[in-house]
Each structure stands twice: as C-alpha cells, then as structure tokens.
Amino acid sequence: MNPVKTIAVLGCGSRGRIYSTIAAGMPEKFRVVAACDPVAERTAYVQEKSGHEGFQKFADAEAFFAAGRLADALIIGTQDTHHYEQCRRALDLGYDVLLEKPIAPTHDQVLALAEQAARLGRKVIVCHVLRYAPFYMAMRDIIASGEIGEIVNFEAMEGVEPWHMAHSFVRGHWARPHLASPTIVAKSCHDMDMLAWVMDRPCEAVSAFGSLSRFTEKHAPAGAPARCTDGCPAGDTCFYNAVKYTGEMGRRWLGMVYDRAADAPASEILEWLKTSPWGRCAYRCDNTAPDHISASLRFSGEVTGTFTLSAFEFGRHYAFYGTKGVLRGGPAYRKATGADILVQPHGGGEPRRVVIPTPTSGHGGGDLGIVNALYDELTGRGDGRTCIAVSVQSHAMAFAAEHSRLTGKTVEIRDNRF
C-alpha cells in the first residue's frame, strides 16, 4: 500500500496553483492540506481543488510558520526573493520542500540552503521541470546512448518570445533583476541545468555578454504615451500594445497576474491596465533586465558550446555536434520538419526523426513530471534528479555567467562564489 503524502502550499500564485492542482488530482498520492497566500481568492482556489475537510488557510507566512509543520512537504511557489528565508524556515520545521526555481537570488544563499538541507537530511527538490519533460528526457537519452558519439561542441538557444519578454522581463516581476534575481538565473537556470544534465560533466568556465538594448525609451514609437490605454498613436501596429491583454492570447498571460483574467469583461481589464504595471508602454518602463545574452561555456574534456538568450526567438532549441553525428531539436525543428529531434549521422543518409507526443501539462509535460517525482522522492523511490545538491551546480553556471556579463571577464567556476 503506497502512503498518501500531505502537502502544504506557500505562495498560491501561478506556479503554486499549478502544482497544487496537479497534486490534488492524484488522491492516491497526495492530500493538499494547507495553503498560505495574502490573496484570499488564491488560498480559496487551492482549498477548492483540495477538497480536504480540515484544510487550513493562512494569509501570511508568519502565521503559517508559527503553526508548525502541517504536512510532509511544502511547495514554495512565492517570488524569488522569498525563497531563501522561507525554505530555510521550512527545513528547520522539518518539511521536505518542492522549491520553485531559482533556488535563491544570490549564490551565497543557494549554497547556504544546500548546506542546510544536507546537514538536516531533508529533501529540497528544485523545480527544474524540464528534466521531467519527455522532449528533454529523449534528447538526453539519445546523447547518453552514444548515437552521435562524443559531444565536441553545442549551440543552445533560449527564445524567450517577444510578448513573454515584455510581460515578464519588461513590465513584470523579473524586469528589475536587483528586486528579483539576475535574468540568466531567473530564466536560464533551466538552460544551464539542461546543459549540465545533458553534458553530464562539469562546466569549468563561462564568458558572457548581453544587455538591454531594445525595450528602452529611445525605441518608443513617436508620441507614445506612458500607458497604452492613453491613446497611443502606434496602438494599431505596436506588437506590445497592452490592450491586447483583452484578447485571447493576452488573457492567457494576464491569468498569471490578474486572477479574473478569464471572466472579466474587456472594460474591466482596460480599467485595470490604467494603473497596473502591465498597462505601461513596453518602451517606457523602469526595466533593466537584459533582452539578449550570449555566453560561451567550457566543460571538462575541452567540450565547448554557446548559449544564447533572445527576446526575439520562439522557444528553446539545440544542436549537439558529436563525433558520429549531429542532434538537433526543439520547437523550431518541430515547426520546420514535424519532428522534435533530428539525429543526423555523419556521412549522409536520412536523419532519424523523433516525434514526442503532445504533452498534457505545462513545460512540455515537466509540471506533471515533477509532481510525480516529488512523490517518488518523498517515498524513497526518487532518483534525486533535481535535488538541491544537483541543482547548485547549474545555478553556479548561471551566477558565473552573470558575473562574467557584468565584469567582462571569463569566469572559472571551480569552487568559486559569485
């Protein structure tokens, strides 16, 4: 008989609700018993999904922690700057933790949490969800199988997408990295983690460039007011017109920051945009997050590669160059060829095409995968794939890249702190 594990949720925003909804849908594995968020509708949402009779709701983290340990595991889905303190307190109380990425906004805090988890013998599973997504698992398996031989070098692209960039890194939560976390840590810890996982060898050094170059006032359309709702002369043609939040595509993004996004009439959303950060002209915000980053990485064994983050590409894609062939994969290839992964042997012939079935949860199926993995970890059957001791290594790559971008120097990772 498999034990049912109890779950509490701290931070019931976009991510907290996704994980708790998935967990609540697996009554044979989980019971969601408590939630904490200052926004009452959000804890009510988790309670409704949970259906647990003795469900406890908290409006602030102090009261939540004062209540002691309420469950086997705690999902921490708050914003980046809360992670360190909340995870530290949760571990002290005896929780195992499912911790949203990034682990914390500074390298010192990341290392401190890893040390604390190890010292107390507690599990901290970091939400590097891509390691549980079928596309990435297939890519890693092919490389590990030796089909393309030894990897000599690679190219990795993180296409943030223009609207996502504007929503999250220009108008939104991660627009000012000093109040959240460095962009390459916030967004690309996934990418660094994927490379660390696929390469399966230590990253030794990194050199990075990048800046904010497009989402700045000098690129604003002539006569653009501070807010899109103030009658912008470029409103009809501007890709970033915030009025699009009233349309179908916009509402999907709006749902991450405005709870009534699905039901609100357009007039309500337009009114909200008049004062909300998401109503601002995308060229006239207080953002400082870079909109493009290019990094060179050196792994052990003289394997090298490049990583690019761009606001202006769509989705992640990869090329791994091996001694026996080349693996290419990602949404761009899917769009062009119908296959998610193409494995091209040297010397010609047709590439082997790998098609991944359409995933049933976000992040290419990784959101569902990590909730299942949480259960496995809590019941001693996990493989520790995204435990904090593993994740600190790829976080170090991201912090090193940011250090390099800011200092203009090539950074050796070793045991350094950034």
- List interacting residues with ligand NAD (CB under 6 A): 10-16, 36-39, 42, 61, 77-80, 82, 100-101, 127, 129, 186, 256, 363
Q: Which amino acid is at 189?
A: C
Q: Which amino acid is at 37?
A: D
| Identity of the residue, 81 or 296, whose beta carbon is nearer to ligand NAD in the bound complex | 81
Closest distance to ligand NAD from the beta carbon of 277 (Å): 12
Residues 6+ apart with CB under 8 A from 172: 257, 277, 278
| Identity of the residue, 8 or 295, whose beta carbon is nearer to ligand NAD in the bound complex | 8
| Identity of the residue, 16 or 290, whose beta carbon is nearer to ligand NAD in the bound complex | 16
Is the distance from CB of 50 to CB of 32 less than 8 angstroms?
A: yes
| Identity of the residue, 62 or 217, whose beta carbon is nearer to ligand NAD in the bound complex | 62
Closest distance to ligand NAD from the beta carbon of 153 (Å): 27
Residues 6+ apart with CB under 8 A from 62: none
Closest distance to ligand NAD from the beta carbon of 326 (Å): 28
Is the distance from CB of 171 to CB of 163 less than 8 angstroms?
A: no
Q: Show the tokens assigned to 154.
A: 């690679």
- Distance of alpha carbon 312 from alpha carbon 165, whole angstroms: 8
| Identity of the residue, 59 or 144, whose beta carbon is nearer to ligand NAD in the bound complex | 59
Enter the DSSP assignment of 4.
Answer: P
Closest distance to ligand NAD from the beta carbon of 69 (Å): 16
Strand 203-211 with 411-412, pairing: antiparallel
| Identity of the residue, 63 or 406, whose beta carbon is nearer to ligand NAD in the bound complex | 63
Strand 303-310 with 73-76, pairing: unpaired
Q: Which amino acid is at 332?
A: A
| Identity of the residue, 36 or 165, whose beta carbon is nearer to ligand NAD in the bound complex | 36
Closest distance to ligand NAD from the beta carbon of 123 (Å): 17
Task: Calculate the alpha carbon distances from 75 to 100, 179, 285, 292, 401 in Å.
Answer: 8, 22, 32, 31, 28
Q: Which amino acid is at 404?
A: S
Q: Which amino acid is at 375?
A: Y
Is the distance from CB of 388 to CB of 280 less than 8 angstroms?
A: no
| Identity of the residue, 131 or 244, whose beta carbon is nearer to ligand NAD in the bound complex | 131
Closest distance to ligand NAD from the beta carbon of 297 (Å): 21
Is the distance from CB of 65 to CB of 148 less than 8 angstroms?
A: no
Closest distance to ligand NAD from the beta carbon of 188 (Å): 11
- Residue closest to 133 by CA, chosen among 329, 297, 305, 306: 329
Strands (E), 300-362: 303-310, 314-322, 325-329, 341-345, 352-354
Closest distance to ligand NAD from the beta carbon of 190 (Å): 6
| Identity of the residue, 72 or 80, whose beta carbon is nearer to ligand NAD in the bound complex | 80
Closest distance to ligand NAD from the beta carbon of 150 (Å): 31
Which residue number has the CB closest to ligand NAD?
Answer: 13
